[in-house]
Amino acid sequence: WLRVEVPATIEYLIGKLTKVELTSIRQYLKLKGVSTLKKEELVHIICKELLGRSQEIFAEFDEEVYHLVKFTVDQGGWTDVSSLTIEQILYLRDRGILFPGIVDGRKALVMASEFVESFQRADGPELYEIIQQNTNWVRLIQGLLYYYGVLTPEQLTEELLKRETIDVGDIQRFARVLELVQRYYGAYQAFDGGLAHLAVSNPDDLQKELERKGELSFYPFTTEQLVRAGITGYLDKDEAFLRFSTFLTDKVRVS
């Protein structure tokens, strides 16, 4: 953690990062042909790209990240980090949103003054409608994995289309939200067959077993049930859980 002066510009904050740390941001931005540049040149390009894409970056937030950023903006561009994990801090840093540093002797997250101004311009009903949709996706993804364990990309897309929560124009943003679910919330693990809940110890074996029992269809949870199950810390002990347990017991022989 390096000492940071506030308010801070984007070039100042990006310039404090190592070349390895810059690589994470470069990969997020999908910048090509810049890996051989000197650090000063790379910093300049990254800053320009981040500022040019700030509206797109804000549109990747769910409600938790949105409220964190809004609170930071309201606090003058920095806040403490007591409630965040290192993985969450790195996720935010790699998007150029918030940078870890020492401010007034305390560990803090600092937002570039240019991003503060950009967020203030973008914040409003239109952005918040997108934030709410992203939040719904986050909870649906977590809820689907909570109940089903593993999902192929095709199954995930089918479930979202069936529930009319996504269209073709949303695919790129949805892919970013998937990364939010994995990196910020640590809510799933990726494997060759798709996505798996963290509680699944061997996703490949479970996927093969489900494919072997191909005649079985997913239990028809409602969207509301899945969204509720997608809330962090949720534990289903209600009637739906009992019905699903009975369904599994009746249909699947556990060896």
Measure the N-to-C terminal CA separation of the chain; round to a whole number of Å.
51
pLDDT at site 220 = 83
Parent domain of 108? 10-121
In a domain, 215, yes or no: yes
Structural domain ending residue among the three candidates 92, 121, 150: 121
Same domain, 47 and 94: yes
pLDDT at site 38 = 92
Same domain, 135 and 230: yes
Ranking 29-38, 132-141, 161-170 by mean pLDDT, the lowest is 161-170
For 204-221, how does the pLDDT look when each residue is reduced to its tens digit (9 = 90+)? 998 888 888 766 677 888
Its pTM stands at 0.85
Closest to 112 measured CA to CA, from 154, 146, 152, 69? 69
Of residues 88 and 243, more confidence is placed in: 88
Same domain, 110 and 166: no
In a domain, 4, yes or no: no
Structural domain ending residue among the three candidates 121, 145, 173: 121
Same domain, 192 and 97: no
Assign 229 a pLDDT band (cuts: 50, 70, 90): confident
pLDDT at site 252 = 57
Same domain, 245 and 208: yes
In a domain, 130, yes or no: yes
Same domain, 134 and 230: yes
Q: Which residues contact 214 (CB under 8 A, 6 or more apart)?
A: none
- Given a contact cutoff of 8 angstroms between Cβ atoms, the answer to whether 113 and 9 are in contact is yes
Same domain, 204 and 232: yes
- Given a contact cutoff of 8 angstroms between Cβ atoms, the answer to whether 159 and 150 are in contact is no
In a domain, 3, yes or no: no
Alpha carbon distances (Å) from 81 to 18, 31, 34, 103, 227: 21, 29, 32, 11, 28
Same domain, 130 and 95: no
Same domain, 112 and 130: no
pLDDT at site 52 = 97
Structural domain ending residue among the three candidates 121, 142, 158: 121
For 76-115, how does the pLDDT look when each residue is reduced to its tens digit (9 = 90+)? 999 988 789 999 999 999 999 999 999 999 999 999 999 9
Q: What is the mean pLDDT of the chain?
A: 88
Same domain, 135 and 209: yes
In a domain, 73, yes or no: yes
pLDDT at site 255 = 45
Q: Which residues contact 28 (CB under 8 A, 6 or more apart)?
A: 94, 95
In a domain, 1, yes or no: no
For 113-151, how does the pLDDT look when each residue is reduced to its tens digit (9 = 90+)? 999 999 999 999 999 999 999 999 999 999 999 988 999
Same domain, 65 and 152: no
- Given a contact cutoff of 8 angstroms between Cβ atoms, the answer to whether 20 and 12 are in contact is no
In a domain, 2, yes or no: no
Same domain, 133 and 243: yes
Average pLDDT over residues 142-168: 85
In a domain, 5, yes or no: no
Tally the domains of the chain. Answer: 2
E strands, 76-209, where? Answer: 78-80, 99-103, 106-110, 150-151, 188-191, 194-197
pLDDT at site 47 = 97
